[in-house]
């Protein structure tokens, strides 16, 4: 389990750690208290990944076609 702050992680790093957590929980090799802590971090990583995906989706939805059928992007104001 990483000590990196979740909010500072990229989507890819958070997803990789989440996959590691899922594998570890599936193996069942951690004591109960550690499993609870791991699960809690996994839940936070999942929420972080979902937020990153939602932001990306909103940016993609800002893509519009101009009058000549050319794709352009409009800035996304968060």
The tokens of 35 are what? 């499993």
Looking at residue 34, what is its pLDDT? 95
Looking at residue 75, what is its pLDDT? 62
Q: 6-73, which class in CATH?
A: mainly alpha
Q: What is the pLDDT along the chain (78 residues), one digit of tens a residue?
A: 677 899 999 999 999 999 999 999 999 999 999 999 999 999 999 999 999 999 988 887 777 554 555 666 666 665
Looking at residue 60, what is its pLDDT? 79
Domains in the chain: boundaries: 6-73
Looking at residue 36, what is its pLDDT? 96
The tokens of 62 are what? 């800002």
**DSSP letters of 9-66?**
S-HHHHHHHHHHHHHHHHHT-S-HHHHHHHHHHHHHHHHHHHHHHHHHHHHHHTEEE-
């Amino acid at each position: 389990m990483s000590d990196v702050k979740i909010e500072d992680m990229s989507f890819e790093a958070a997803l990789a750690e989440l996959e590691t957590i899922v594998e570890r929980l599936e193996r069942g090799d951690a004591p109960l208290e550690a499993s609870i802590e791991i699960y809690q971090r996994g839940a936070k990583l999942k929420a972080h990944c979902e937020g990153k995906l939602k932001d990306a989706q909103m940016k993609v939805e800002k893509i519009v076609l101009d009058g000549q059928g050319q794709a352009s992007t409009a800035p996304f104001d968060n």
